[in-house]
Amino acid sequence: MLRIRGRAPRAAVALAAAGALAGLLAACSGSPAPPADGTPAAGQPVTTVPGGSALPPASTPSASASAPSRPLAGQVIVVDPGHNGDNWAHPAVINQLVNVITEMKPCDTTGTETDAGYTEAAFNFNVAIRLARLLRAEGATVILTRTSNHGVGPCITQRAAIGNRAHADAAISIHADGGPPGGSGFDVIEPGLIPGHTDAIVGPSHRLALDIRDAYHRITGEPYANYVGHDALDVRTDLGGLNLSTVPKVFIECGNMRNAADAAKLSSPAFRQRIAVALAAGLTAFLAPAGLVPSGGASIPGAPAG
Ligand SMILES: [Zn+2]
């Protein structure tokens, strides 16, 4: 998400000429070109999942004879798809510096992309709308920090403020990483202690991180990241989206877009649906543990063994 990648991105020349290099270097891992027509894109209807015939219907993760059908009723969840599809075209906007308590940093970044040009912004948004649909089916009120992948921002400060204003019971920021090509796996980022700021959210955010990590690993089969964090957990105090949150919040790096094997998975609509199922299960475990089926995600059709 915040690592710098080596190769020159396609949009870099124009943006650098516009004086936007600082934004590129601060990006999740670089600067993607706009998605080409025909590439997997955000906004595709979530009601049709290409190749996803083996995937469960939206209500499956929490539905059972003994569990409530709407275990998240009354819960407010903020889903934050990281970056935005047109950030690359608006360097003057995203490079504005904002105060994230521990430092000043750009308002937003472009995110990374796969070698094939599937952008992180599109991935994040596609997973977010799938997740929102699942959570709403469980009864939650879901607020997205952006409602399309064809805009710029909002700033990381605003992404946090949206969760705060909603008094969200939980918030999750969805990302995919731009790590070293030899590295793979996922990790969950939780807020570190900043006295006077994050005191109240460190504890619950850690519990949320554990629930998200365990569900994600179990349901997607994705291994813990082997190049960042420890046991797929990473505590950070440099992310505005966490530092400025007053509600329990984590980020997840769903995989490494710069790794060929991870990129193939992240580019698959069926795998993105499985990611959404996993994140919904993790949020449900955190917010309504009694609403989970006894065996959790292990009972979900199509979930990988182990
Ligand atoms: Zn990112």
Helix, strand or coil for residue 286?
Answer: helix
For ligand 1, the distance from its centroid to the CA atom of residue 215, given in whole angstroms, is 21
Which helix or strand (DSSP H or E) is residue 79 part of?
Answer: strand 76-81
* Burial class of residue 297, CB neighbours in 10 A (0-12, 13-18, 19+): buried
Known catalytic residues? 253
Locate 43 and state its tokens: 């906004």
Contacts of 235 (CB under 8 A, 6+ apart): 189, 190, 191, 192
| Residue 18, pLDDT score | 38
pLDDT in tens, the chain (306 residues): 544 333 334 443 333 333 333 333 333 443 343 333 333 333 333 333 333 334 444 444 444 455 668 999 999 999 999 999 999 999 999 999 999 999 999 999 999 999 999 999 999 999 999 999 999 999 999 999 999 999 999 999 999 999 999 999 999 999 999 999 999 999 999 999 999 999 999 999 999 999 999 999 999 999 999 999 999 999 999 999 999 999 999 999 999 999 999 999 999 999 999 999 999 999 999 999 886 654 444 344 333 333
| Residue 66, pLDDT score | 53
For ligand 1, the distance from its centroid to the CA atom of residue 88, given in whole angstroms, is 13
Smallest CA-to-CA distance from 255 within 144, 154, 120, 64 is with 120
| Residue 289, pLDDT score | 84
Helix, strand or coil for residue 210?
Answer: helix
For ligand 1, the distance from its centroid to the CA atom of residue 298, given in whole angstroms, is 29
Locate 223 and state its tokens: 């291994």
| Residue 290, pLDDT score | 81
| Residue 203, pLDDT score | 98
Helix, strand or coil for residue 171?
Answer: strand
For ligand 1, the distance from its centroid to the CA atom of residue 68, given in whole angstroms, is 34
For ligand 1, the distance from its centroid to the CA atom of residue 40, given in whole angstroms, is 17
| Residue 1, pLDDT score | 55
Vertex 297 angle, CA 292 and 160, to 5°: 75
Chain CA centroid to CA 197, Å: 23
Residue the block writes with tokens 């995600």? 297
For ligand 1, the distance from its centroid to the CA atom of residue 177, given in whole angstroms, is 6
Locate 17 and state its tokens: 């000429």
| DSSP states of 173-191 | EEEEE---TT---BEEEEE
pLDDT in tens, 191-242: 999 999 999 999 999 999 999 999 999 999 999 999 999 999 999 999 999 9
**pTM score:** 0.77
Smallest CA-to-CA distance from 143 within 153, 129, 156 is with 129
| Residue 36, pLDDT score | 37
For ligand 1, the distance from its centroid to the CA atom of residue 302, given in whole angstroms, is 27
| Residue 69, pLDDT score | 84
